Amino acid sequence: MIPGLINSFYLVIMKNFFLEFPEELKESARIDGCNELRVLFQIVLPLSLPVMAAFALFYAVGIWNQYFNAILYINDPTKWPVQVVLQQIVISATGGIGNATFSSDAVSYYGEAVRNAVIVIATIPVLMIYPFLQKHFTKGILLGSVKG
């Protein structure tokens, strides 16, 4: 459980982000009388919101697309999450794992149409979350904070 708590790739990116954070910002806050906690909460964390928003979206998409854990731990099909149900729909529409069992073109077109419909259904919730995080993606990270 603990090794899966944090993605090591995201940890390296955050480390590099904080290492490249301008020391002048922290120093100017200390000159104004801020202690280390106040510098962290009022200077560093607000400016790191774009990185945190991106990682939050990556984690949300990763969790949303998980179906294997539900198959392992939930035995009752009525309690399966939508990803497992969508996977079952795709498998039943294509006639198994692949299209090798059917040779008809109509069946393969039907399976492809169902697959595409499932992809659209699976991406709608993620697309609904994205506009709320978009302001953090488009905002410049340190725009106007350190000049010249």
Measure the CA–CA gap between 47 and 93, rounded to whole angstroms. 48
pLDDT of residue 49: 86
Is the pTM higher than 0.85? no
Domain match, 98 and 74 both: yes
Domain match, 129 and 142 both: yes
Domain match, 81 and 107 both: yes
Domain match, 42 and 61 both: no
Give the model confidence (pLDDT) of 79-135 as tens digits.
988 889 888 888 888 765 554 555 566 556 777 888 888 889 888 988 888 888 777
Residue 138 has pLDDT above 90, yes or no: no
Q: pLDDT band for position 38 (50/70/90)? A: very high
Looking at the 3D structure of the chain, how many domains does it have? Answer: 2
Give the model confidence (pLDDT) of 62-91 as tens digits.
888 888 888 899 999 899 888 898 888 888
- What domain range is 54 assigned to? 49-148
Domain match, 36 and 66 both: no
pLDDT of residue 12: 92
Output the DSSP codes for 48-103.
THHHHHHHHHHHHHHHHT--HHHHHH---GGG--HHHHHHHHHHHHHTSSSSTT--
Residue 5 has pLDDT above 80, yes or no: no
Give the model confidence (pLDDT) of 45-60 as tens digits.
988 888 888 888 888 8
